[in-house]
């Protein structure tokens, strides 16, 4: 059962790393920025996920409590620190996404008001 779980974790980690660490998808939005260039922390997060997955699987087989309790504790402290770093990156991504959505709403409202004012001026100029 351990081997199946390990294979599952490593497969998921490799697929995630391949998706984010491979060639980034170039997507242009209205501002001319590329989607891959504006969120570099996603690539860092993918690398951390891959590292944590490999460390987890190796730890299941290599690190044992009775033999080396200090190494065991240090090992899991490192894994927990990496997971907390992932959580911080996720919070940063959520905040950035919310900011982007609000910026787009403001831009759409501005464009809508400009379109309404230009159509109102066009109606006023036609008798």
If residue 118 lies in a helix (H) or strand (E), which one and from where to where? helix 69-125
Identify the three-state secondary structure at position 44: helix
The structure's pTM equals 0.65
What are the pLDDT digits (tens) for 90-103? 999 999 989 999 99
Q: How would residue 33 be classed by pLDDT, with cut points 50, 70 and 90?
A: low
Bigger pLDDT: 93 vs 30? 93
Specify the pLDDT at position 32: 53
Q: Shortest CA distance to 44 belongs to which of 15, 20, 80?
A: 20
What sign does the dihedral 75-55-25-100 (CA atoms) show? Answer: negative
What are the pLDDT digits (tens) for 56-91? 888 877 776 667 788 888 888 999 999 999 999 999
Average confidence score pLDDT of the chain: 80
């Amino acid at each position: 059962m351990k081997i199946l779980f390990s294979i599952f974790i490593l497969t998921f980690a490799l697929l995630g790393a391949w998706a984010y660490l491979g060639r980034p998808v170039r997507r242009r939005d209205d501002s001319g920025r590329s989607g891959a260039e504006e969120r570099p922390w996603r690539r860092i997060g993918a690398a951390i996920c891959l590292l944590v997955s490999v460390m987890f699987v190796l730890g299941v087989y290599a690190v044992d409590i009775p033999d080396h309790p200090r190494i065991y504790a240090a090992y899991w402290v490192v894994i927990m620190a990496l997971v907390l770093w992932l959580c911080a990156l996720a919070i940063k991504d959520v905040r950035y996404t919310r900011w982007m959505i609000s910026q787009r709403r403001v831009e759409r409202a501005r464009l809508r008001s400009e379109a309404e004012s230009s159509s109102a001026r066009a109606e006023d100029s036609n008798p």
